[in-house]
Amino acid sequence: MEVQLQIKMNEKLYLRDPEQTELGKKIVQHGIQLIHEIGFESFTFRKLAEYIGTTEAGVYRYFDNKHRLLIYITCWYWNWVQYRVLFETNNINDPGIKLKKVISLLAKTVEDDNKTLYVDESILHQIIIAEASKTYLTKNVTEDNKELFFKPFKDLCAVIANIILVYNPKYKYPRSLASTIIEMAQFQIFFMYNLPSLTDFGKTKKESNVVSFLEDLVFSAIRKK
Amino acid sequence: MEVQLQIKMNEKLYLRDPEQTELGKKIVQHGIQLIHEIGFESFTFRKLAEYIGTTEAGVYRYFDNKHRLLIYITCWYWNWVQYRVLFETNNINDPGIKLKKVISLLAKTVEDDNKTLYVDESILHQIIIAEASKTYLTKNVTEDNKELFFKPFKDLCAVIANIILVYNPKYKYPRSLASTIIEMAQFQIFFMYNLPSLTDFGKTKKESNVVSFLEDLVFSAIRKK
DNA sequence: TTTACAATAATAGCTTTACTATCATAAATA
DNA sequence: TATTTATGATAGTAAAGCTATTATTGTAAA
């Protein structure tokens, strides 16, 4: 059986739905590729247009600007992670096991699972690590938040916070701990590869070490005292 | 007695030492101000030049580009924090009390203490929260790291990791926990004000709550089991 | 006191980024 | 067949991100 996953996106993120056309899919797919190759700062719609053999104006018909494209990509990613979290923790009752699943889903490199037709999830994960914070670290956070551009991120955070609360209903900081898990899964991996002395895994460079660190951190915090 | 604090900066960060001239000081001082007002993305040397009544070329004589200026500012900040950490924890033997000092130094808004002649530290803190990650989330991390541009950050991290190790020599992740404390002190405050549902302090918006969360997190993790 | 040197101001100019607008054409649909 | 829709081709503008040149200060050494 082949299953294909369709993720519903916030319509305000684009001018024309990129999933509906070939060019649109190319923009997202190769946009991810190009951002990964040259970094978000150097990335321009002109370069992307050349990369996929269209014109700058052609790209602008789909997205207002490159920041919107980054938000689009990031939303897609968090939606996809949330789907995987729900799928993988379904039918598990033990909230401890659920949390471990969540941590490893967040911190371990994904292999492209081909469930989604046009996105390479492994490269996507690397972009998220290096670029996702830039979606909200702007003077537009509040406005963008009102447009619900960060809903997928906040929803994922809420899902994790709920698992934490099931584990220990008396724990006082479920949301902050959830956002800490998500952010640190990204940052510790980034540090491990790029500024290794900020971590304890500079030598081995294994994502499983980040998982161990986060598990230790989280379960010490939420265990019933 | 009046004490003035002079922080030695990495010479590769600037073309001409901004601390040596009036214009240089103005560039840093009002650079901080302007980045705070309009955000780093909208910030340009042209706007800064107009802001302080000089020319664009004048600013370029001090810094290669705005990213270098941001790194300069960020380095200055982490040097200053490390100084305060060493000063405030000096003569304290109990590593637990030291750690609490550190956490509150990191997470609480500072008042401009006038020890440093030309920087408003409270605004600086806000810039660090919103912009500091952008110094290393680039394709240049490795090169910039080789130039020691992140040394002040890494040194601070090492200082904190050492206190953690004194508290519990068997704790396995002192560096990762240290970088987590530093990063989360920033991010939880940012979230609290801008994306409150990612925290448990959206209602009260008190930095002391972030301190409580971090203390709980850290001491659960490092307590001897 | 002159000289010379350092820092800045004034001006110009160049490439790239970040967009917007217009018109022609090809493909899909009514 | 008519007509909408997506794309392509082309042009153009304002601002960002620089560099270069020359003139003018103010300061410090000869």
| Model confidence pLDDT, tens digit, residues A42-82 | 999 999 999 999 999 999 999 999 999 999 999 999 999 99
Distance from the A102 Cα atom to the nearest Cα atom in chain B, whole angstroms: 17
> pLDDT tens digit string along B144-164?
999 999 999 999 999 999 999
Q: What average pLDDT does the segment A176-183 reach?
A: 98
What is the rounded CA–CA span in Å between residue B180 and residue A35? 27
| Per-residue confidence band for A113, with pLDDT thresholds at 50, 70 and 90 | low
What pTM was estimated for this model as a whole? Answer: 0.95
Contact between residue B142 and residue A149 where contact means Cβ atoms under 8 Å apart: no
Other residues' Cβ atoms within 10 Å of the Cβ of residue B71: 25
Q: Looking at chain A, which residue has its C-alpha nearest residue B143?
A: A194
Most B-contacting residue of A149, A198, A214, A223 (CB-CB within 10 A), to test interface: A198
Distance CA B69, CA B24 (A): 11
- Residues of A numbered 48-77 whose beta carbons fall under 8 angstroms of chain B's beta carbons: which are they? none
* Spatial separation of the C-alpha atoms in residues B70 and A29, rounded to whole Å: 32
pLDDT at A98: 98
The three-class DSSP label of residue B119 is: coil
Nearest to B113 by CA among B80, B143, B82, B139: B80
Asked if residue A198 has pLDDT above 90, the reply is yes
In B75-214, where do the E strands start and end?
none
Q: How far is the CA of B190 from the C1' of D19 (A)?
A: 38
- Cα B169 to Cα A123, B89, B94, B96, B112, distances in angstroms: 38, 19, 14, 13, 36
| pLDDT, greater one: A129 or A2 | A129
Instruction: Give the nearest partner residue to B191 out of A179, A210, A223, using CB atoms.
Output: A179
Q: Is A193 on the interface with B (CB under 8 A)?
A: no
Nearest of A221, A142, A126 to residue A176 by alpha carbon? A221
Mean pLDDT, chain A, rounded, equals: 95
Determine, for residues B39 and A220 on separate chains, whether the beta-carbon distance falls below 8 Å: no
Q: Which nucleotide is nearest to A58 (CA to C1')?
A: D7
pLDDT at B138: 98
The DSSP code for B110 is: P
Inter-chain CB proximity B41 and A197 less than 8 Å: no
Q: How many CB atoms lie within 10 A of CB A96?
A: 17
Where b means 16+ CB within 10 Å and e means fewer, A7-17 reads: bebbeebbeee
Quickly give B126 CA vs C1 C1' distance in Å.
53
Which candidate from B154, B194, B221 shows the least CB-CB separation from A198? B154
How far does the CA of residue A203 sit from the closest CA of chain B (Å)? 13
* Residue-wise DSSP of chain A: ----------GGG-SS-GGGSHHHHHHHHHHHHHHHHH-TTT--HHHHHHHHTS-HHHHHTT-SSHHHHHHHHHHHHHHHHHHHHHHHHTT---HHHHHHHHHHHHHSPPPP-SSSSS--HHHHHHHHHHHGGGGTSSTTHHHHHHTTTTHHHHHHHHHHHHHHHHH-TT-S-HHHHHHHHHHHHHHHHHHHHHSGGGSS-TTT--HHHHHHHHHHHHHHHHS--
Those residues of chain B that have pLDDT short of 50 are none
CA of B29 vs chain A CAs: smallest distance (Å):
20
Q: Nearest-CA residue of chain B relative to A182? A: B198
Instruction: List residue ranges whose Cβ is under 7 angstroms from nucleic strand C.
Output: A 42, 44-47, 56-57, 60, 64-66; B 16, 20-24, 53-58, 61
